[in-house]
Amino acid sequence: MQLDAQVFLGLVEEANKICFVDIESTGLKGDYNSTLVVSVKPYNLKPISFAVKQPGYDIKVVREAKELMESFACWVTYYGKGFDIPFLNTRLLRWGQLPIAKRPHIDMYYSLKYNLLTGRKSQAHLLRFLDCDVQKMDMSPTEWTEVLATGDLKRMIQRCESDTMGLEGLYKKTRHLVRDIKC
């Protein structure tokens, strides 16, 4: 039996089984880099964040994030199929753990890329264009370097959480465009 995407979304929203996921990492490849922060924001609730104590040793963060993510029936990300989920699975593999169990996964990047014709595809641009309440938090290259040099992750946690809040806003404004949900 196949369920209409909009019906499914109504069900997971009502049951609070949909969440918004974002990660921050030291780089783009899970074999040479590690996770810094993972934020998981349940629908209409505050984000829950997991942050490393020291860059490089992210086993606790990826295990806890995996456990929380698997408690939801559906995830929403922005380019999460291309980055966040494969990165987390690479880090889990590094620590001898199983990958995150598959769930219906809405990647807003792809959903909007194929349904809108905008000059830019970034989450920040779409949040501004659609006048969403929460905007993407900017961090300069200097701030990124300072995070890695000092290990002070407060600003990185704020950024990751604001990304999930913005993602939820983007989802709410464009939810009607979601037609197909795959794992």
Q: 61 φ, ψ to 5°?
A: -65, -50
For residues 91 and 30, is the Cβ–Cβ distance under 8 A?
yes
- Per residue in 93-136, pLDDT tens? 999 999 999 999 999 999 999 999 999 999 999 999 999 998 88
Domain 5-177 is found in CATH 3.30.420.10 = yes
The strand pairing partners of 72, in sequence order, are none
Rounded to an integer, the average pLDDT of 32-53 is: 97
The pLDDT value recorded for residue 1 is 55
User: Do strands 35-42 and 18-25 pair parallel, antiparallel, or not at all (unpaired)?
Assistant: antiparallel
* Residue 2 pLDDT greater than 90, yes or no: no
- CB of 152 within 8 A of CB of 146? yes
Structural domain spans, the chain = 5-177
Percent of the chain with pLDDT over 90: 83
Tell the burial category of 179 from Cβ atoms under 10 Å away from its Cβ (0-12, 13-18, 19+).
exposed
**pTM for the whole thing?**
0.96
Short-list 61, 50, 45, 118, CA closest to 95: 61
**Summary mean pLDDT of the chain:** 94
* CA–centroid distance for 15 within its chain: 20
Length, in residues, of the chain:
183
